[in-house]
């Protein structure tokens, strides 16, 4: 691996070609990349593993990604409460202020270059 190594990355996403590409791109810098297609799947993985960074699509089936970030930050004993959380959205209703209020570190609007997200997560390693 070239560049800084991050411990692990969880990509919570809908089935979307750009985010699948992002997960593959993250594999070049992360020790492990896990993916979840829905918020309930993400919660199972969050309870089972510690992640250095969590990338959340703001619109997820069954639960809003902003709500999932809030759950991560506010759930007592949640082992990933201090992980970096990066929100991704094409919807301008997901403002940076709203995402930060929920506990996300930043928001990346689509379209984006995968390298932009990788730079964000490696800067927090």
What is this structure's pTM? 0.81
- Backbone φ and ψ for 14, nearest 5 degrees, come out as -80, 170
Tell the CATH topology of 9-123.
Rossmann fold (3.40.50)
Average pLDDT of span 103-108: 91
Convert the pLDDT of each residue in 110-120 to its tens digit. Answer: 888 878 887 87
For residues 57, 60, 64, 68, the Cα torsion angle rounded to the nearest 10 degrees is -70
CA distance linking residue 87 with residue 109, whole number of Å: 8
**Does 20 score more than 70 pLDDT?**
no
Best CA proximity match to 68, nearest among 109, 24, 10: 10
CA distance linking residue 44 with residue 109, whole number of Å: 26
CA distance linking residue 34 with residue 79, whole number of Å: 16
């Amino acid at each position: 691996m070239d560049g800084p190594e991050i411990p692990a990355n969880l990509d919570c996403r809908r089935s979307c070609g750009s985010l699948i590409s992002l997960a593959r791109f993250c594999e070049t810098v992360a020790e492990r990349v896990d993916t979840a297609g829905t918020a309930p799947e993400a919660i199972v993985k969050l309870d089972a593993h510690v992640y250095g960074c969590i990338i959340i699509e703001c619109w997820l089936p069954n639960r809003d990604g902003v709500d999932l970030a809030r759950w991560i930050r506010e759930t007592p004993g949640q082992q990933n409460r201090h992980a970096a959380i990066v929100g991704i959205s094409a919807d301008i209703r997901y403002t940076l202020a709203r995402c930060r209020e929920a506990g996300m570190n930043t928001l990346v609007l689509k379209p984006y270059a995968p390298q932009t997200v990788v730079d964000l997560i490696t800067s927090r390693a």
